[in-house]
Structure 1
């Protein structure tokens, strides 16, 4: 009996060892010292706006060998020459073994990565190959490519909005801006300086030489057409599309409300948009009390102040004021994204 038991134990241990060996043979183990050979079509590239659509740089690499069959995923890593890939940018490339950059694509990418425009930069590039989070990646050697970028800055263009609200003067009319100079212009115009000031036109310069009025259909433009008009006395975001000869006006009006204002808590006192400075202004007499700022005569968007620092918060607390006449300025276009205000007693 004891002899049979011992033989059984030996057989079990041998079988277990055999099974373990089979599992070891199936386990994925990356080949030590594996690398990828990365080549670039050039080590010095000068990008130009004229050659933006042409191929500027081609990267190609051989297949990563992990020592076993696996689906390999590649990524291009980019970093500055002195950063040694400590915080690289990663561009997923799936299973591709080549990446072709046009001039525009490479210039846009480097601009996005905060490389200065119109300068020459040493850019390190390498390929990263992976098969699983459980297996160490394989990297190619870094290739340094000198890349000279070009500026993508486009000079903005303007049209002007002379009308009855400002004396029909193109020379002093506020403007609409096309940031990309693409024929689409936008800006805020306040039509509430005086009564019956709802008519206006669009001019391409500070004269009447080229002007646009209403077209045959609502919302369209025509060269030398009749006067355009907004529906009511208020401030509007005006959009003009000279490519399609259309225009639109959407109410966009900030006002002051509160028991310190002439309208109390029931009616906004409208502010005027300063087109040149990019701020909203109002000079008015206030009584001792509270004020807030709100958009389009509605509580859906309103600003108060919580911290006493002249920085406004959406839905913030009422702002206390003493009696007096004030110049009030609302600035919604600060570079840091905050909304601020000032109250200057006259």
Structure 2
């Protein structure tokens, strides 16, 4: 009995010590006692101009938070419209080590235009706020720095997002003529619709730089045809040849290498009153152009006759799944208000659908 009692006492003591150590670990970090990071100030105002798009707008610097002990902390630089409580914050940078971030005029303008669109605000001088959020783990309270405010005047123009290019047989492996996937939230998720025009199976890759020196991803050693989820290989992957449709919606995580492939289609066409909403859609063909900003653009095009008041839509393979309605695009067109496009006047029309964008664009032109 003494032996059993001795063991029991030892176990109790061990558990007590373990519990004490656990409690000490849990109370080591206190958000009330921790000192949050400090974010540097900015000028009172900035005016952004497109001619300076590639230049630096400004640099923000900050300090590490003081937690009272050594810990791995992720500091994230956040921005949002002033007085919105960071409800739709955009993360400009996240790092365990960096204490500064420089943003270009183009990147800053793009992010402000994105926020103005979210809040349905006009393009005008706008109050913008920045802060640092310091995170240890999901279980610990996040620390926030002081908020730094400034007024920024953006310029009109199509927002630019971080992008990764698709190089392949479809474009002669030309970096300057590549379709892209985009990161809307400036994180590690890139997505867009792409169109291979019958050459998907000939091979393609994701590429971040023109000379292939960094940031390129290819196929693993084995893939199944039309594989919907695959982890790509960074650096030395093979050409991706497992897909044979013309168009896909791609979602790529450049941190994990995970690629999600959906919405496979071989054709797109115009359906509407002109064909009694039945079969025999007016097929769209792939075209390219260089726009006024010297950017290479891909679009699908159709030309057809329509009567006054005709309604129409874009759909794939004469099926209604994944059809395109006015609410999903921007551009120059008439919205019938019932989920369809329309034309008010009879005539011959050219419809251009710029699909490879964050928000696809449709331009409808009445031909003379």
Normalised TM-score (structure 1)? 0.47
Q: TM-score, normalised by structure 2?
A: 0.45
| More helix, by proportion | 2
Structure index of larger Rg:
1
